[in-house]
Amino acid sequence: MVVARAEGVWVEDVEGHRYLDMLAGYSALNFGHRHPELVAAAHRQLDRLTLTSRAFRNDRLAGFAEGLAELTGLDMTLPMNTGAEAVESGIKVARKWAYDVKGVAPGEATIVVAADNFHGRTTTIVGFSTDPVAREGFGPFTPGFRVVPYNDLAALEAAVDDTTAAVLIEPVQGEAGVIIPDDGYLAGVRELTRRTGTLFVADEIQSGLGRTGTTLAVDHESVLPDVLLLGKALGGGIVPVSAVVARRDVLGVLRPGEHGSTFGGDPLAAAVGPAVVDLLRTGEFQRRAAELGRVLDAGLAALVGRGVVAYRCRGLWAGVDVEPALGTGREVCERLMGEGLLVKDTHGSTIRLAPPLTITEDELEWALSVLAGVLG
Ligand SMILES: Cc1ncc(COP(=O)(O)O)c(C=O)c1O
C-alpha cells in the first residue's frame, strides 16, 4: 500500500483505495492529516520566513516557548526536531544538572530507565533498550544507564543513589504495547525523585498532547515532572518539532555553545508548534479522546474471548493482544489493511490502535466492526 494523499482520518493510496488511519503516525497525527488550522499556520509562515538557524533569533520562538509554558506549567523550552533528539537533549541536561547542581563527581552520573522502554533510535538510546531487535549489532553503547522493571517502585528505589541524575520513563509505554502503569506509580516516581534529589524526566513524545484524554499522560495522576519530553504531534504532522520543557533551574544549566540545533525552533516549527498549543488550549481534543476512548474501551471489551486475549486502553490509545492462533500482529494488520483499516503491530501478537483524535464516533464504531470481523 503506497499512500498518495490524506485528509483528516482518511488516507488514499496510489490506486485510489481509502483507508481509515488508526495509527496516526505513531501519534504525530493526533489532529488528523492536514488539519486546516495547522496547514494555514504553516502556509502563513512559509510566505514570510522559514529558517534562520539558531545563530539568530526569530520572531516566532518566544511565543512558542510561552505557549508550552502555559500548557505544561514548566517555564523553559529547548526546541529540537525529532523525538530522539529531545530524549538525547534531556539526557544531556540531566547529566549537566547532576554535575552542576547535585554535585555528582565528574563522569559518574547515572540515569535510571525502565525495561521495555522505547525512547528512539540513536546509539545512546538503543544502548539502554531491552529490545534485542533495537539494540543488537549497534554497540558499543554509552555507559551510565541502569534498567529496572517498569511499574515497580521498589526496584526504582533500589536503583537510585547519590550518582543518579534522573529517572527517565514513559508515563505509558507505547511501543511496548500501550502498557499502563498501576495507579499511584507516577505519583510514586514523583515522590521518590523529589525525596532523593533526582530529576523526573517524563517522555511524553507519544503519550502527550491529548492522546490519553488529558493534555499529558502524567495528568492522570496530577503529577508534574521536572522535565517533559515532547515531540510527534507538536509538529502537527507537518514538520518534525520536539521540545525539552523544564523548570528554569534545571534547563538553565545549559550555557550558550553547550548545545544546539540548526533547525530546532526554526520559524516554521515555531509557527506550527503554537498552532498545536492553540488547538489543545480549548480542551476539546482531550475531551474527545476521553469520551471516544470509552467507546473504544467498550468495543474492545466486547471482543475479549472473540479473537482478543487482553487489551489496555487509555483515551484513544489501545494495545490489543490478539489470539496468537490468528497469526502474528503483522499478519493481523495486513488483514485489517485489506478491509480498509490501517493499524500497526508492536511485538508478537499485539497491535496498537491510535486514531487521530478528530475521529468521529461513527468512524470509530466502523473500525471496531472491521476489527470484530477480522478477529472473529
Ligand atoms: C516514547 C517515545 N519517545 C521517543 C520516540 C522517538 O521519536 P522520533 O521517532 O521522532 O525520534 C518515540 C517514537 O516512537 C516514542 O514513542
Name the one residue in this structure whose C-alpha cell is 534485542: 132
Segment 65-87 shows an average pLDDT of 98
Say whether 18 sits in a helix, a strand or coil: strand
Residue of 119, 228, 234 best suited for mutating to test ligand 1, as the one with most atoms within 8 Å of CB: 119
Predicted confidence band at 347 (pLDDT cuts at 50, 70, 90)? confident
- Single-letter residue type at 344: K
**Is the predicted pLDDT of residue 3 greater than 90, yes or no?**
yes
Identify the pLDDT of residue 357: 98
Ligand 1 binding pocket includes 67 (Cβ within 6 Å): no
How far apart are the CA of 373 and the centre of ligand 1, in A?
31
**Is the predicted pLDDT of residue 376 greater than 90, yes or no?**
no
Environment class of residue 105 by beta-carbon count within 10 Å: exposed (0-12), middle (13-18) or buried (19+)? exposed
CATH superfamily of 3-34+283-375: Aspartate Aminotransferase, domain 1 (3.90.1150.10)
User: Which strand (E) or helix (H) includes residue 220?
Assistant: none
Calpha distance 33→206 (Å, rounded): 17
HSE-CB for 28 with a 13 A CA cutoff: 16
**Is the predicted pLDDT of residue 138 greater than 90, yes or no?**
yes
- Evaluate whether the domain defined by 38-281 bears CATH number 3.40.640.10: yes
CA terminus-to-terminus distance, the chain: 24
How far apart are the CA of 16 and the centre of ligand 1, in A?
30
Identify the pLDDT of residue 175: 96
Question: Is the pTM of the predicted complex or chain greater than 0.95?
Answer: yes
Calpha distance 175→168 (Å, rounded): 16
Identify the pLDDT of residue 54: 86
C-alpha cell at 109: 552520573
Ligand 1 binding pocket includes 81 (Cβ within 6 Å): no
Identify the pLDDT of residue 173: 98
Mean residue pLDDT across the chain: 97
CA dihedral of 365, 368, 369, 371, whole degrees rounded to 10 = 160
| Model confidence pLDDT, tens digit, residues 251-268 | 999 999 999 999 999 999
**Is the predicted pLDDT of residue 374 greater than 90, yes or no?**
yes
Segment 320-327 shows an average pLDDT of 95
**Is the predicted pLDDT of residue 243 greater than 90, yes or no?**
yes
Residue of 124, 129, 169, 205 best suited for mutating to test ligand 1, as the one with most atoms within 8 Å of CB: 205
| Model confidence pLDDT, tens digit, residues 146-200 | 999 999 999 999 999 999 999 999 999 999 999 999 999 999 999 999 999 999 9
Segment 124-140 shows an average pLDDT of 97
Q: Are 271 and 44 in contact (CB under 8 A)?
A: yes
How far apart are the CA of 207 and the centre of ligand 1, in A?
10
How far apart are the CA of 354 and the centre of ligand 1, in A?
15
Q: What residue owns the CA closest to ligand 1's atom 16?
A: 206
> What are the residue ranges spanned by the domains of the chain?
3-34+283-375, 38-281
Of residues 188, 365, 219, the one with CA closest to residue 292:
365
Segment 231-255 shows an average pLDDT of 98
Ligand 1 binding pocket includes 203 (Cβ within 6 Å): yes
Contacts of residue 66, defined as CB under 8 A and 6 or more positions apart, other chains included, come to none
Region of residue 151 (left: phi > 0; alpha: psi -120 to 50; beta: else): left
Q: Are 317 and 177 in contact (CB under 8 A)?
A: no
Enumerate the active-site residues.
Answer: 118, 203, 232
How far apart are the CA of 257 and the centre of ligand 1, in A?
26
Ligand 1 binding pocket includes 118 (Cβ within 6 Å): yes
**Is the predicted pLDDT of residue 52 greater than 90, yes or no?**
yes
Q: Do domains 3-34+283-375 and 38-281 have the same CATH topology?
A: no
Segment 135-139 shows an average pLDDT of 97
Ligand 1 binding pocket includes 293 (Cβ within 6 Å): no
Calpha distance 84→242 (Å, rounded): 9
Ligand 1 binding pocket includes 374 (Cβ within 6 Å): no
User: Percent of the chain having pLDDT more than 70?
Assistant: 100
Identify the pLDDT of residue 200: 99
Ligand 1 binding pocket includes 91 (Cβ within 6 Å): no
Environment class of residue 69 by beta-carbon count within 10 Å: exposed (0-12), middle (13-18) or buried (19+)? middle
Q: What residue owns the CA closest to ligand 1's atom 8?
A: 83
